Amino acid sequence: MRLADAHVLVTGASSGIGAATARALAVTGARLTLAGRDRGRLAAVAAATGGRVLVCDVATQAHDLATRAGHVDVLVNNAGVGWAGPFVRMPAGRVEQLLAVNLAAPIALTRLLLPGMVAAGRGHLVFVASIAGAVGVDQEAVYSATKAGLMAFAEALGHELRHVPGVGVSVLLPGVVDTPFFVRRGAPYTRGWPAPIAPERVARAIVAAIRHGRPESFVPGWLRVPARLRGAAPGPFRALARRFGRA
């Protein structure tokens, strides 16, 4: 898909992968709408990219966001939250928050904005999932479940839209990314391997997925190995997962 002059809505654009994606898209000549909850951080990203700021909470304001954004050629569903720890200790409110932000909001925004893409015969939907959705991660049961649900939604929607000309679907599966995500989830990332990658690397993969119509991208690419191993050889996969421990 040609990105020059395309209207792109990026959720969770105030920091991390969202901010890096906005910067990468700005170089292509895309017209950006940046959505998030932190007005100050969004303003800084907008100043660097020429984007328009829409302050909102996607968990509760998806309809309002879609209305204010107007017609969108590309939707990057990036906003996400996490929580780490034993499931039995997870506060009930955090369960609902993860489900709302990570799964319900992308589905709602897609339902609201996809008809315009279909009518125009041009559009692309991007879903930023996680390797956690493909393999399940110890101490992140709900987060893994929301990302697995997002991947299944993207896959099914891609099948549904395969005969719709000009409209594509991409899902991104990043590994550990060097963003404020881990601090915000309540448990910083402390493992030495795999080392966190820069959010700009994920941003480049998102731009490439849109341009080339890639349905699935692992970032970094070697992550497809454990994802495929889980399906092909679940026993060895679980043994390796136990050995390498939690993320």
Write the DSSP assignment of 50-85 as a string of letters. TPEEEE--TTT-HHHHHHHH-S-SEEEE-------S
Is 143 in the active site?
yes
Q: From residue 244, give the alpha-carbon distance in Å to each of 125, 142, 144, 231, 247.
A: 34, 20, 17, 18, 9
Give dist(CA 227, CA 109) in Å, integer: 27
Say whether 32 sits in a helix, a strand or coil.
strand
**Which strand (E) or helix (H) includes residue 160?**
helix 141-160
Residue 72 amino acid letter: V
Give dist(CA 154, CA 142) in Å, integer: 18
Q: From residue 97, give the alpha-carbon distance in Å to each of 70, 92, 120, 245.
A: 26, 9, 33, 26
For the chain, how far is it from start to end, CA to CA, in angstroms? 35
All residues at 6 or more sequence positions from 41 whose CB lies less than 8 Å from its CB, including other chains: 14, 15, 19
What is the rounded (10 degree) CA torsion for 223, 199, 176, 134?
Answer: -50
Residue from 83, 127, 143, 181 carrying the catalytic annotation: 143
202 CB-contact burial (10 Å; exposed 0-12 / middle 13-18 / buried 19+)? buried
Structure tokens at 45: 């990203």
Q: Which residues are catalytic?
A: 143
